């Protein structure tokens, strides 16, 4: 056995390792970028879900944007007011008022109230089902398909399929917006947590067609709008909309709706 050759090899490896370590240390100093310590503190304060609901690539992206003044201190929808207050303290500013938002599915066409055109036997995914003939198996092309793409996307277990349509648990919802993005029918929107009256329909079909496909669909009759003294209800593209900033929660719109499309959330 050539011990001299082995010793030489060990020494060479040791020298190469030393040189590499010195090079990496030197490079780290040359390319080191100073970071604001507030950024690290904000990252520790944020929930760490990295859901992207704030509009930035994860919690670190939001923290960097807050420090740069590009995002508000209450920019994390998951953390809510508690996290906003802590981030504001780190930044030395006032948190300001923030509205607690939750997701809402604008469809009440469940298996008891909405008709189906055929039986779908493909992949249990709304995006795939929506590619089937007629935009899916539901008679209302605007209705919830109920195959749970939003359920799979929600990391807070806040959405479940009930009687064939997606329903949001507002107590569990963090308003991250993932379900809003994934829904191929664009049925989900974020509304204030304390919103009491909501339109459970997104159909843009004419009244007679809606009545054929769904027992609770909006027919665009306008009675809700005509009877709303606060001017909170409008009818656009044959479907009613409620401006939650104007709504005084009187409930007249729900009372006047002949189709019971407007529901009362508590």
pLDDT per residue over 139-196, tens digit each? 999 999 999 999 999 999 999 999 999 999 999 999 999 999 999 999 999 999 999 9
Residue recorded with tokens 């504001």: 88
Please choose, from the candidates 188, 21, 210, the residue with its C-alpha nearest in 3D space to the C-alpha of residue 105: 188
Phi/psi for 172 (5° steps) reads -95, -20
pLDDT recorded at residue 1: 56
Rg, C-alpha atoms of the chain = 27
At 28 the pLDDT is: 63
**Per-residue model confidence (pLDDT) at position 30:** 67
Residue 78: which of 97, 96, 103 has the closest Cα? 103
d(CA 233, CA 240): 7
Mean of pLDDT values over 15-43:
76
The model carries a pTM of 0.79
Average pLDDT of every residue of the chain: 90
H runs (alpha helix) in the chain: 3-30, 37-45, 58-68, 80-91, 126-129, 149-153, 178-182, 207-213, 223-227, 252-256
All structural domains of the chain? 37-91 (1.10.15.40), 99-194 (3.30.70.20), 196-266 (3.30.70.20)
**The pLDDT of residue 262:** 97
pLDDT over 90 for what percent of the chain?
A: 69
- Give the 3-state secondary structure of residue 198: strand
pLDDT at position 79: 87
Average pLDDT (121-133) is 94
Q: pLDDT of 60-98, one tens digit each?
A: 999 999 998 888 889 898 888 889 999 999 998 888 777
pLDDT above 90 (res 236): yes
């Amino acid at each position: 056995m050539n011990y001299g050759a082995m010793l030489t090899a060990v020494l060479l490896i040791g020298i190469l390792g030393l040189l590499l370590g010195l090079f990496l240390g030197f490079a780290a100093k040359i390319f080191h970028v100073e970071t604001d310590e507030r950024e690290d503190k904000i990252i520790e304060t944020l929930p760490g879900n990295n859901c992207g609901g704030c509009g930035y690539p994860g919690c670190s992206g939001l923290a960097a944007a807050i420090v740069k003044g590009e995002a508000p201190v209450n920019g994390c929808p998951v953390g809510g007011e508690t996290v906003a207050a802590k981030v504001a303290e780190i930044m030395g500013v006032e948190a300001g008022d923030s509205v607690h938002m939750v997701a809402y599915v604008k469809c009440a066409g469940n298996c008891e109230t909405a008709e189906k055109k055929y039986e779908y036997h493909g992949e249990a995914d709304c995006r795939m089902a929506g590619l089937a003939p007629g935009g899916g198996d539901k008679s209302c092309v605007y209705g919830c398909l109920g195959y749970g793409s939003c359920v799979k996307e929600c990391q807070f277990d806040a959405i479940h399929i009930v009687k064939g349509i997606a329903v949001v648990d507002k107590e569990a919802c963090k308003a991250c917006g993932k379900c809003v993005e994934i829904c191929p029918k664009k049925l989900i929107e974020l509304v204030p947590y304390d919103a009491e009256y909501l339109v459970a329909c997104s159909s843009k079909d004419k009244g007679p067609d809606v009545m054929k496909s769904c027992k609770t669909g909006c027919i665009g009759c306008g009675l809700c709008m005509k009877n709303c003294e606060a001017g909170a209800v409008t009818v656009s593209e044959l479907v009613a909309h409620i401006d939650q900033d104007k709504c005084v929660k009187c409930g007249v719109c729900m009372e006047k709706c002949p189709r019971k499309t407007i529901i009362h959330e508590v």
